[in-house]
Amino acid sequence: MNAGTAGALDAHVVVAHASLDVRLSLRPGEVVAVMGPSGAGKTTLLDALSGLTRLDAGHVAVDGVILADANHHVPPSRRAIGLLGQDPLLFPHMTAVGNIAFAARSAGSPRAEAVTIAQEWMRRIGLAELGDRRPDQLSGGQRQRVALARALAARPRLLLLDEPFSSLDVQAAAQLREVVGEHLNGTTAVIVSHTLADAQSLAPRLVILEDGRITQDAPLGDVLAAPATPFAGAVAATA
């Protein structure tokens, strides 16, 4: 049974907005890290892609399909763009398995199969024994793992990771990075981060976003070796 990823797609992402002009092409299964100073437009980019905010100008397109512009707005539930943020936001009234099964159900699996998929995910993320726990009975790192499994069980064609490790302690963050790397498994992903370690462990390609524009887009090693801007230089200095 395919318990997770949808067929990987090329994702040509275009977000053109008043304060933001981003064009990104992602190969199927590619993971790209986006780093930038505060206020560079990282959150706007993610919200525009996931559909959580409406655009009053510009447009968002993935794979040549317009998801949003001034006139129409494909709702988040029909975009198949997953989101894993800093806060896992697990549904507090459902068990861990229930949370993941909810996503599998939403992606079209029948009820019984959704539960099987969810249990399979719990096993994969190393929490097979904790499936019946509610979110408040899990640690921060465990919650975030369940949230990752939930996001992937929805079979997104593109997964957005918004600082997914920043609320965890160093050790839990390192563990979760490993789990993410292991289970993206062909899912095309964009990871927005403040920490070079995230790019180093997950994304071979680094995009630097400043003032709503991409100022550098290159393999990670190239950015570190030849940073194009002072910000990129500051990032490289933390390597």
Partner 1 sequence: MTRRDTGTGTPFTLIAPAVLGVALLILPLVALVGRASWATLWQDVTSPVALDALRLSVLSGLGATALCLVLGLPLALLMARSGPRLSALLRALVAVPLVLPPMVGGVALLFLFGRTSPVGRMLSDAFDLTLPFTPAAVVLAQAFVALPFLVLAVEGTIRSVGGRYERTAATLGARPWRVLWHVTLPLAVPGIVVGVILCFARAIGEFGATALFAGNAPGVTQTMPLAIYTAFNGAGTGRETAVALSLLLLATAVVVLLLVRAWRPGALK
- Residue numbers of the site for partner 1 (CB under 8 A)? 50-52, 75-83, 87, 89, 91-94, 102-103, 105-107, 134, 150-151, 154-155
Q: Smallest distance from the beta carbon of 195 to partner 1, in angstroms?
A: 23
Considering the complex, state which of residue 167 and residue 215 has its C-beta at the smaller distance from partner 1: 167
Nearest to 103 by CA among 91, 93, 92, 87: 91
- Alpha-carbon distances of 120 from 124, 155, 174, 229, rounded to whole Å: 6, 14, 23, 45
Nearer residue to partner 1 within complex by CB, 3 or 232: 3
Query: What distance in Å separates the CA atoms of residue 165 and residue 144, rounded to the nearest whole number?
Result: 8
Pinpoint the alpha helices (H) of 108-169: 111-124, 140-153
In the bound complex, what is the minimum distance in angstroms from residue 90's beta carbon to partner 1?
A: 9
Q: Which is nearer to partner 1, 94 or 214 (CB)?
A: 94
Residue 92 Cβ vs partner 1, minimum distance, rounded to whole Å: 7
Nearest to 116 by CA among 210, 2, 35: 2
The least CB distance from residue 104 to partner 1, in Å, is 9
Complex with partner 1: residue 89 or 172, whichever CB lies closer? 89
Gap between the Cα atoms of 58 and 70, Å rounded:
7
